Chains A and B, each alone.
Chain A
Amino acid sequence: MDHAHSLLNWRSLRWKIALLVAVACCGTALTVGVLVHRSTEARSMNDGGARAINRLSQALKDYERDGVAPDGLVTQPAAMPGQLLDRLEHEQGDGQAMVTWYEGGGPGDHPSMWAARTHRGSPVALETDMTSDLLTRRALDRHMWKYSLIALAVMVPLSALAAELPNRRLRRVARTARRVAAGDLAARTAAGRGRDEVAAISAAVDTMADSLRERLLAEQRFTADVAHELRTPLMGLVTASGLLPQGEATEMVRDRVAVLRALVEDLLEISRLDAGAERAELRPVPLADVVTEALARTGLDARLSTVGAQPVMTDPRRLDRIVSNLVANAHRHGRPPVEVTVTGTGVTVRDHGPGFPPELLAEGPQRFRTGAAERGTGHGLGLTIALGQAQVIGAELSLTNQPDGGAAATLGLPAVTDRGGMGREDDGTGPDRRSH
């Protein structure tokens, strides 16, 4: 399909090269053709002139001998072309010189060569027919046209075909670059040999992919290190604060520890999502069950209603993250009651607060920005995570404001298809199933 499309593309490099070859071929053929035409004509004139002069000399010899003008010898100046007489007049040197004149546009397309000299004071001339010469030259011209066109007809497709080779390599470079852009960091052009510009661009794309991968790996390593460095003291803090005796101050400490912990986990999650290394583990899942369990785990107040829930193809741990973030967001920035509705393969979380700010609807969620003062405080990472995770599991998350007030986040999940029922491709025992 791609091939056919590129064949039909008139802006393709292939047709540009073919056009260039065609122009070059035409130029060469025209130059050679004109030169050959000219030199053939000149030779034909020379030969024709010499022949005419020979014939005139012979005729004059016969005239001298017999005293009678032989057949074809013109002695009346009135029967001679004017230009011939002019020449005879002007180019007469010692009175013995012969002049010739080619009368091209003769009647009935019959050109002829005139030869003349002054004989006994008056001009005598002889006409020699040149029709066969003209026909020969015309035949030659036709041949040159014909073979030039044949050569063109062969060369242009051939050059188009020859252009296919670098074209193919260029297409491979483009494909590789697109795969890298789509997240396949192992994609390489593997051009290998060749020292032309295509090889150079292939090498450049490969180098780009290498450095991109290195940076991403470094980022992932950094995230893992940060995770370790932050979580270890946090773990001590969480457990130690759990040991404090009950009291107002203890509650404050525990609350802040919980906030800090949530923030660290959110940042690590976003950083993993940004690295683009997250892989979903999709399998058929009963939507209502997962949402119910996710709601229970948040410990937040939400009204759940289910209308014809269907099984979906998803990663339940990520779905859990999306739902809990949306519900937490609705509580933090909206007003109760928070309603969670499971319909078919979709989940809607809506609140009855002021709704999403217009900037958020226009530009999407921005980290550490809640958009408006009336939306309350919060680090604004919840929606970013929900959107990021939705992308990983191939779900669609849309944010809208309800006409009767309140923000609504609707998550559309892929349904279980017959073939999609086979969620996991392999044994599922490899260490790279998921990367967090």
Chain B
Amino acid sequence: MKKNIVLLTSIYLISFWVQAQNSIDFKEVTLDNGLHVIMHKDNSTPIVAVSVLYHVGSKNEKPDRTGFAHFFEHLLFEGTENIGRGEYMNKIQAIGGTLNAFTSSDITYYYEIVPSNYLETALYMESERMLHPKIDQIGVDTQRDVIKEEKRQSYDNRPYGTILPETMKRAFSEHPYRWTPIGSMEDLDAARLEEFIDFHKSFYVPNNATLTIAGDIDYAQAEAWARAYFEDIPAGPDDFFRPDVKEPVKMSEIRDVIYDNVQIPAIIQAYNLPPKNHPDSYALEMLSTYLTGGNSSLMTKELVDKQQKALGVQAIPLDLEDGGVFIMYALTNMGVDPVELESEIDKLLNDVRTNGISERDFQKLQNIIENDLVSKNSSMEGLAQNLAEAHVFYGGTNYVNEELDYFRKVKREDIQRVAEKYINLDGRVVLYYLPKSAQSE
């Protein structure tokens, strides 16, 4: 691979970083009840994205009541005091909009994209579910069944579906990241209606939320409506339960085999990461791109193309507020012993740790990152989420305009440094997913 590099021209090196990101304009205000409102105006398409980010995820749950945040993601579609059961989704779709939500370990995020003349409707509806959602036994019972099927569909019945929960429960021994948002069905079965209502009161309040409005809007009108619908929602108590747990550094490797309904063995390695807003996160992101981003990346070229030991390999920095995990995920090619593939992965990881990366590879990484950042905010849906996360996780909404600067601060040596520091082969989790084989019932 190295020798080809000489053949390539160096013209592209010159233009590096010349292209500035288009600056993203926005306005923001914090209402008296603590709700933070972010607005972005773009009149090119007559649509508007409205989202509410609640700063609550599975890490805010009690160990014997896991799955609550995700449960709420479902429950808050059930209706409010003024919006009938089942009507929430119907209404948004019937005005030509689309809606969805997700729950992570850190946040719960609701959004809808509607024709811009329905902005007020969308704000009314989001305010309704913040003010007085209907949380009753019928909704709880139905959604409990739905979530069980979701778990079966997305985890139990899907080959390799349990990788994330199996990894997290080993990567974390103390921190609530040890369970994933889907949680435990036993906990959901055991929970009583009052507990759900209490959970809602503690977290789904304006002072724990960020409202984002992005698209075909008028700033003054959007703000006036946001105030009209949200300002009278009472703030909740400010003592949000945020786990203050320092995950102890692992001194020895945790290694396990999971027999699953799969045909192809998979290898998963997980390395604990610093908090997502840590300055090293940028170098770690670049490291993952160096390892598996693109066909010319180190591991794809070596393990998939050359040695053909892997069917595919991926490095995924799963960054979380209190520090997530850097996951290496590889599927073996036919007839390859996973032990053999893993030793090649380790060899390449050790190579980066010992020798770092070349100047040319570093320039390639910078080019890829620049391209990614330019494309990152191309849709109102994506931009709304990036604005909200900038505010909640990165100390200010203007982070969306500063992200490239943080990547620019990364030096070539930093890639090796973070590899040495975090990709610690002695304190990692390694899982093998192996076939149960031709089922003997």
Genuine A/B complex? no
Which residues of B does A touch, CB under 8 Å?
none
